[in-house]
Structure 1
Amino acid sequence: MTMLGLTRPIPVTFAEAEAIIDDDGHGEADGNPDGLARVYVSPEVEGWTLVIGWWCDPCDGQRGDEVLRLCTELSARYGRAQAYYYGAQGDGSAWLIAERGAVVRRYCATGELEDALYTLGEPLPLERAQREQLGLSPTWDEGARDDEAEDEWKSAAFHLAPEIAAALGTSPLALTADTQVRGVGLLAITPHTKDAEAGPVS
């Protein structure tokens, strides 16, 4: 939390955090219209700490460079750090994988023209395998936006973030009653807000 600049933590359950972060994402939270003012920091989950909220989007126009920097720094200290975006209603996926202080991969599949600008590193094994299942080359030119064959990949990539998260670490969408959890989850204020009146709970 110190490395991320998070402050004013208060303990909340997963269920409470889910409702709060969902409200933030839809602009329904007082004092947090863009959803960037707070995040949920999970207990240790299968050896990972999850930081959940819009502030963590690796391909956000406002936050992309900062999320890249933070993930790189976290991976230098802890070995690995990842950031994801997933729009469960067909809004796309994005992933950022950093290891030992270096970016391994950043990829964005949201249907926006700027997506290709975020691409860094070589395709992950899971990306390559997905493309091969579609009968496509495991390597490709991200600028080939008008290629009909690539439309299949773009459609598949829209839903790939949770699968990559589960394969490389822990996906919050895959938690069950049997998931090993240790510690207490916290809702915290991000450096995005300087409003002293913006408390962590609506």
Structure 2
Amino acid sequence: MRAVAESLVAGERVSAWDLNDAGPDDFPELREIRRTGNQALRNAARALLFGLGGPEALGEDDLTLLRRLIKSKIAVEVPLAMRSCEFWYAIPTTDQAAVLDAFGLSDAEPVTMSLGTEIWNQHYHGSGHQRCARLYVSPALDGWTLVFGRPSDDQHPADVTGESSWSIEPREQYQAMLANEKVRRGVDRDRCVALSRRFGAAQLYWRSHGDSTTSWCVAEKGELVRFYDVSAPEESAGELAAENGYLLPHEDTPLPEGWADDIEHTDDPLDWQREWVRRHRRLKAELGLPDHCDADTIAEALSVHPGKIGPHTRAEGHGVIALTRCGREYGHPRTLLRGLAYPPAPERPSFLDEDQT
């Protein structure tokens, strides 16, 4: 583990996937580094202990120091925008304890907003119950509490079929996948409605940063007000004033026929993509065509958009990470906290960063 700790200190890319073969047997070596290493190595060892076993793996002294450090940072913290938030609930309450109870969460550990964001952004790393073991619950932001992730029961609904039971025929596999997605949409709608019955209102948002997948659900006083999912527009229910003046994500932009046919394909496929984006933006502006709305658009209009949080946002209390039923059964998921322990590796730029016109 010393070599991994040294890689972290050097700013090399190490992820939770690289720790799949590590476990409690490595704790003694990491704790020895905590006692005898230099400051940088000690911080990296602390990050690895947390990454392998969660807060309890740190030991009483380290956990006390970590909690003290987090408490001091919370006292002076300024709200900051989240990146890659993807899936979240927005609930109009400042009662964090009630929210934790509603989602079946326990073992809450206070975190700064930056630390909570970092933990959430790594929820998809690793295998098994990594995605469903732990949720991040924000402080109250302009009166709204945001919950990132699904509780265990929603992540594992009874009517979802496992891949091991699927046919080997590709078409039947695809149909099974679609059936599972339909079940999950129903579970998410039911959860949103149930939360609104308890808190007066609830909203659920999904915005993929890997493709165009997006959805939103709004419920009030136990009634579904609006549901939309780009993957199943036929299941839509209700409507929102916030959608007025926009195209829905599944609707095509009414551009002239053949508008992109003459874009040249070169050896670099990104050349075509960049030119497609430039021309699409230019034609939309020239023709005065509306933009598409998505979960980000609706969240910003109706509650709090995680990506637009900032010094202007009124924050009450502090955020927490908390365990779901899966977390209590299987333990904390593996999470390497770069922001707390060692220099982060540089971010990779988007292929569109070269030209935003």
TM-score range, shorter chain: 0.7 to 0.9
Aligned to 2:52: none
Distance 1:73 1:102 in 2: 9
SS of match in other structure, 1:129: coil
> Aligned-pair distance for 1:50?
0.3
Identity %: 29
Distance 1:48 1:201 in 2: 28
Aligned to 2:324: 190
Is the Cα–Cα contact under 8 Å of residues 82 and 97 in structure 1 kept in the other structure? yes
Is the Cα–Cα contact under 8 Å of residues 192 and 219 in structure 2 kept in the other structure? yes
Q: Give per-residue Cα distances to partners, 1:107-162, cap 9 Å, x unaligned.
A: 012xx4xx23542x22212223213xxxxxx9xxx9xx8xxxx3229x954x5111
Listed as ranges, the gaps of 5+ residues in structure 1 are 132-137
**Higher mean C-alpha displacement, 4-13 vs 121-130:** 121-130
Aligned to 1:105: 226
Distance 2:327 2:321 in 1: 16
> Aligned-pair distance for 1:31?
5.3
Distance 1:164 1:44 in 2: 19
SS of match in other structure, 2:329: coil
Is the Cα–Cα contact under 8 Å of residues 45 and 182 in structure 1 kept in the other structure? yes
> Aligned-pair distance for 1:71?
1.5
> Aligned-pair distance for 1:194?
6.1
- Superposed counterparts of 1:81-92, under 5 Å: 81-92=202-213
Listed as ranges, the gaps of 5+ residues in structure 2 are 1-99, 156-179, 255-289, 336-357
1:48 aligns with 2:165: no
Q: Give per-residue Cα distances to partners, 1:32-55, cap 9 Å, x unaligned.
A: 34x222211111110000001366
Q: Give per-residue Cα distances to partners, 1:22-75, cap 9 Å, x unaligned.
A: 111xx3146534x22221111111000000136689xx8264333222211221
Aligned to 2:233: 116
Is the Cα–Cα contact under 8 Å of residues 142 and 315 in structure 2 kept in the other structure? yes
Letter in 2 for 1:47: G
Is the Cα–Cα contact under 8 Å of residues 105 and 322 in structure 2 kept in the other structure? yes
Is the Cα–Cα contact under 8 Å of residues 141 and 315 in structure 2 kept in the other structure? yes
SS of match in other structure, 2:253: helix
1:172 aligns with 2:271: no
SS of match in other structure, 1:2: helix
Q: Give per-residue Cα distances to partners, 1:56-97, cap 9 Å, x unaligned.
A: 89xx82643332222112212222100000113433211000
TM-score normalized with structure 1 length: 0.73
2:216 to 69, 84, 95: 95
CA change 1:45–1:98 in 2 (3 A) is same
Is the Cα–Cα contact under 8 Å of residues 9 and 200 in structure 1 kept in the other structure? no
Aligned to 1:161: 295
Aligned to 1:135: none
Distance 1:173 1:46 in 2: 14
1:72 aligns with 2:193: yes
1:151 aligns with 2:252: yes
CA change 1:81–1:8 in 2 (3 A) is same
- Comparing both structures, which one devotes a greater share of its residues to strand? 1
Is the Cα–Cα contact under 8 Å of residues 111 and 320 in structure 2 kept in the other structure? yes
**Higher mean C-alpha displacement, 61-70 vs 1-10:** 61-70
SS of match in other structure, 1:64: helix
Is the Cα–Cα contact under 8 Å of residues 86 and 92 in structure 1 kept in the other structure? yes
1:28 aligns with 2:116: no
Number of equivalences? 174
SS of match in other structure, 1:88: coil
CA RMSD of aligned residues (A): 3.0
Is the Cα–Cα contact under 8 Å of residues 73 and 101 in structure 1 kept in the other structure? yes
SS of match in other structure, 2:190: helix
Distance 1:105 1:45 in 2: 23
CA change 1:118–1:7 in 2 (3 A) is farther
